[in-house]
Structure 1
Amino acid sequence: MDNLTLPALTWSGATAFWHELPRNLTAGLVLGLSAVPLGAALLAGAPGWVAAAAVLPVTLALTGLAALTADDRGLAALRRVDPVLALLLSVAGLALLAPWGVVPAAAVLLVGPYALAYGAVRGRRGLAALRGGVILAAYRPAWALTLTALTVLGAFAAAASAGVLAPVVAPLLLTIAARQTTALLAEIDTLQGAR
């Protein structure tokens, strides 16, 4: 990618999302189905640990969705899930039961999109994907904060629309994260090659 500005990459991600709208909406609906256990646990007033454990299917679906948004292989990419990364990301759901649980949840919001995108773009899994997400967030913290802000705004938009926008938000954000990750990795590779 020649243009390494945040607005250009965000626009590029949004455009790529739009060009594959039917595929992305289908993937967003699959993600929505994975959230049914979590919604049922929350609506039924289940114990906190049950609701926290119900986050795992959502994070597992997010790893498949990240794989879909990072390449053009079609809906079959949804099957390329990363159980280890999903478990690592869902630990924040369990941590929310503790008084200090806001800190891991904030860390997942900051690093999670880049970890998902890095894992999908570079084919890394588990701890390697999480480590890559941490490195990318530390390399360009302003970009990570912007992506976190977009994630929070997207969550509010999905909630305010009574879930109508929910199938759009995650694929859009992960497509943007994949574009940013590809550009950051190209820049880092160029810097390392120059040394």
Structure 2
Amino acid sequence: MENLTLPALTWSGATAFWHELPRTLTAGLVCVLSAAPLAAALLTGAPRALAFAAVLPIALTLTGLAAFTAPIARGDGTTLAALSRVDPVLALLLSAAGLALLAPWGVVPAAAVLLVGPYALAYGAVRGRRGLAAARGGVILAAYRPAWALTLTALTVLGAFAAAASAGVLALVVAPLLLTIAARQTTALLTEIDALQTGAARTGAARTGAARTGAAQGGAR
């Protein structure tokens, strides 16, 4: 990726999403349907614990949706079968934020999920990591470029409001689009981090070689 600016990556992610629109809309529908248990719990006045537990189906679907959108972000084709590649452990970690909201300090893990969650989902799909490894990767990426994480969080919140304002119509688009953008950003960040690590390793090797050469010359004297 030649242009690693945030606007360019966001636009290219949206463009890649548009090229796969029929499939992404179908995937978005699956995501909307996975929210049915939560909607039913909220509409029927179910206990808060049951309502927050109903977040798990959505989290499971999002892990499969991340696997579905990662090839789109790379410019490759994708299939709806990718939606079945769910990550139960990562889904449990993400849905735990809903349960944590029962506590007075619950806003803290909820905010953390908004910041780290999209990158954790995208990292797991892009690098083939699962569970805690995917969550750890999301934390690292969010800490590496916090401004990008905050921007993606803002897009997530705006997307949620847009979906609600459109009576759920835009919900078909929001999750696949945001995860495609997240995967695009994640790929760019990983490319940059890998390049920095390679450069640091080469510099370290060069310094070690120079030190050994100096020591050998000193010994010869």
In structure 1, the partner of 2:120 is: 115
Residue 84 of structure 2 aligns with which residue?
A: 79
Query: Partner of 2:106 in structure 1?
Result: 101
1:73 Cα shift? 3.1
Alignment match, 1:23 = 23
Q: CA deviation at 1:76?
A: 0.9
Distance in 1, matches of 2:102 and 2:174, equals 26
SS of 1:97's partner is coil
Quote the RMSD (CA, aligned, Å): 0.5
Which of 135, 156, 163 lines up with 1:130 in the alignment?
135
Match for residue 39 of structure 2? Answer: 39
Aligned twin of 1:175: 180
Tell me the residue number matched to 1:157: 162
Cα distance in 1 for residues equivalent to 2:104 and 2:140: 27
Distance 1:34 1:99 in 2: 28
Q: How many residues align?
A: 195
**1:2 Cα deviation from its structure 2 partner:** 1.0
Letter aligned with residue 147 of structure 2:
A
TM-score, with normalisation over the residues of structure 1?
A: 0.99
Q: 1:99 Cα deviation (Å)? A: 1.1
2:117 and 2:171 mapped to 1: Cα distance? 18
Unaligned runs of 5+ in 1: none
- The share of aligned pairs that are identical, in percent, is 86
Unaligned runs of 5+ in 2: 72-76, 201-221
Instruction: Tell me how far apart the structure 2 counterparts of residues 182 and 167 of structure 1 sit (CA, whole Å).
Output: 24
Q: Structure 2: which amino acid aligns with 1:112?
A: G
Output one character per residue of 1:13-70: Cα deviation in whole Å (capped at 9) or x when no partner.
0000100001100000001111000000000000000001000000000000000000
Is contact 2:60-2:87 (8 Å) kept? yes
Q: Residue 163 of structure 1: SS of its match in structure 2? A: coil
Q: 1:150-186 CA distances to partner (integer Å, 9 max, x unpaired)?
A: 0000000000001010010000000000000000000
Q: TM-score if structure 2 supplies the norm length?
A: 0.88
Q: Distance in 2 between matches of 1:45 and 1:98?
A: 19
Distance (whole Å) between structure 1 residues aligned to residue 19 and residue 62 of structure 2: 20
Runs of 4+ in 1 over 2 A off after TM superposition: none
Match of 1:88 among 90, 93, 101: 93
Counterpart of 2:80, as a letter, is: L
- Aligned-partner residue type, residue 24 of structure 1: T
Deviations 1:92-128 (A, max 9, x none): 0000111111110000000000000000000000000
